[in-house]
Amino acid sequence: MPRRPNPGLTKPKWSLYDLNFNQEHDLVTGYLMEMTDIAGIEVLYYRRNEDTPYDPLYGEQTNTNYDEPITTKVLYDVGEEPNLWSSFGMFGGDILTCHIPQGTWRRDISQTLEPMIGDAIHIKWLDREFSVVHVDNDDRIFQLKKMIYILVLRPYRFSEDSESAAAIYTESVPMSAYGDNEWIETQSNSIDDYTDVDDSIYLR
Amino acid sequence: MRGYFFHKSLRRSLVQLLDLFRTIYIARYNNEGYATKIIRVPLSFGPKEKAFYWQKSSGKKTDEILPIMAANVTSIDFDSARMANREQSIVISRDLTAKSLKMFKNAMPYNVGINLNIWALHIVDIDQILEQILPFFAPHNFIRVYFPELDARMDVKVILNNCTPDLTEDMAEEDWRAVKWTIAFTMQTYMMRPLIISTSSGSVESSGSYDEYQEIPPSASGSLPGLGFEMGSGGVTVLSSGIVEKIITRFFDSDLGWEDRGTETVFTSGANTSSIESMFMEGLGFDESAAVMYAYDVFGENTHD
């Protein structure tokens, strides 16, 4: 038997809180924006360029591009900021929860677009870069409206994807992880440099 | 008693193994399929000290800069299948004037397990790295390790056992994808044994066992190990070596005998005396003229026509 629509489960429509010329709603929006402008942290927001094609098999972009950064302000709190040491080196496992009012977003970044997973944020005072790994809305805080974006941030992973991706990195040092490659080459040559053998059988 | 020695068998093997992977590259391609950038994949051996990582990252930056490769040792196991005669001596050099030998006993075979961990942001990066490694293992390859203090060079077999992915498939809100692979290798290397400096000037006889070797500190400055020696040095010596001069005075009673004379005048023997029997038993330096003298000396027979 086909499932029949059940009109009894349809949510009621709230016509009470029409946003057009809703001064109370504008007041709350303005309050949130003002609060963020006063107490927020200045960041550079990089929107991930949606025109870059994906590899359909692996579902990834190796040429990830970002639009020009936009300065805005956000409020954030730090959930965890552990440093992890492994054979790969030292890495930050920070998890930040970032709040940006939708009014601030529309004023500074885009009137029509919303934040996306994959965008990047550079926190100026911290001089660190983060990826947006999750986007959500805050709870309904006024007139049943969600008025704040919540962004979950993790440390940005650099991988020489594009010029704009490299530009996110604000350090002046070359964008390459630490490696022993040159040292290994020197040491290996002092042990045996394979010059007296047909090294085509070796992996060189 | 053994003296101090340190041939860096493990370290040298590791360096040569890492040398296999120090020139791995990945390329970035544009949308038309043309390579626009070549990146050499950083390789390190780890884990290192925390302080090292802290200094290398300027004490602040903890960014993940990918791709990256890191190797670590997972195990060291004795390999009985490659065990050879442990008492066989390998002569490095002989000094006929000083009547001394430098040699070492057969090395001990050990299998060293190595994991090469690869971490990349993109799966296609992993593809490129694997394709630059896998074709060169069938499933083994060879590296060479040279020990200058022993003047010994070894071909060490490196076997690729398997490649294992470590992919994040279930991602919570705060998670994001990690692309890690591990390639497991077995390095069939050897642990070198102490250097033996064997002379004939000593007064103590030896059976050739390491237990009877007199300890010689690396600096040879006394009974205690001295300082100032170089890494990789050190060794032992055995007194009363097996190097023996051929003491037979050659008599050549014909032009033919002169032409057939042996060119070796010194040979090695297990005997500690300069006896003609040892020469016969060893069979070294034994020629027609010596046979005549041997028969006369031992049996009193004149076999010379």
Q: Which of A145-149, A159-163, B131-135, B143-147 shows the lowest per-residue confidence on average (mean pLDDT)?
A: A159-163
Rg over alpha carbons for chain A, rounded to the nearest Å, is 25
What is the DSSP-derived secondary structure letter of residue B232? Answer: T
The more confident residue out of B208 and A111 is A111
Mean per-residue pLDDT, B7-31: 92
Tokens read off for B230: 């170089």
| DSSP per position, A58-106 | TTB-SS--BPPPEEEEEEEEEEE--EEEETTEEEE--EEEEEEEHHHHH
The answer, yes or no, to whether residue A13 has pLDDT greater than 80, is no
Please tell me the number of Cα atoms within 13 Å of B61 on its side-chain side.
21
A203 → closest Cβ in B121, B136, B176? B136
Question: In 3D, which of B67, B121, B206, B140 has the Cα closest to residue A177?
Answer: B67
In this prediction, residue B212 carries a pLDDT of 52
Label residue B220 by pLDDT band (50, 70, 90): very low
* Chain B positions in Cβ-Cβ contact with residue A159 (cut-off 8 Å): 65-67, 120-122, 125
CA atoms within 13 A on the CB side of B235: 17
Per-residue model confidence (pLDDT) at position B283: 45
Residues of chain B found within 8 Å of residue A154, distances taken between Cβ atoms: 174, 176
- Amino acid symbol at A47: R
Task: Give me B203's structure tokens.
Answer: 């007064």
Q: Are A116 and A103 in contact (CB under 8 A)?
A: no
Q: Which of A170, A79, A186 is nearest to A126 (CA)?
A: A170
Q: Distances from the Cα of A17 to the Cαs of A11, A12, A22, A27, in angstroms?
A: 15, 13, 8, 14
Strands A140-142, A95-101: pairing is unpaired
- Taking 90 as the threshold, does the pLDDT of residue A57 lie above it? yes
Q: Give which of B283, B262, B261 is closest to B271, Cα–Cα.
A: B283
Could you tell me the two tokens for B32?
């038309």
Nearest CA in chain B to A152: B174
Residue B169 has pLDDT above 80, yes or no: yes
* Six-digit token string for B125: 């990066």
Distance, CA of A69 to chain centre:
12
CB nearest to B153's CB, from A83, A85, A192 = A192
Supply the pLDDT for residue B265.
Answer: 46
Chain B environment of A87 (Cβ under 8 Å): 44-47, 70-72, 117
Contacts of residue A78 in chain B, CB cutoff 8 Å? none
Q: Select the residue of B63, B123, B175 nearest A60 (Cβ to Cβ).
A: B123
More confident residue, B279 or B138: B138
Region for residue B286 given its phi and psi (left: phi exceeds 0; alpha: psi -120 to 50; beta: otherwise): beta
Chain A contact for B56 (CB, 8 A cutoff): yes
Question: C-alpha distances in angstroms, A134 versus A124, B173, B214?
Answer: 21, 6, 70
Backbone angles phi, psi at A189, to 5 degrees: -65, -30
Q: Enter the ipTM.
A: 0.84
User: Which sign, positive or negative, has the C-alpha torsion B10, B12, B17, B18?
Assistant: positive
CA A157 to CA A169: how far, in whole Å? 10
Q: How wide is the angle at C-alpha B237 spanned by C-alphas B232 and B242, nearest 5°? A: 130
pTM for this prediction: 0.78
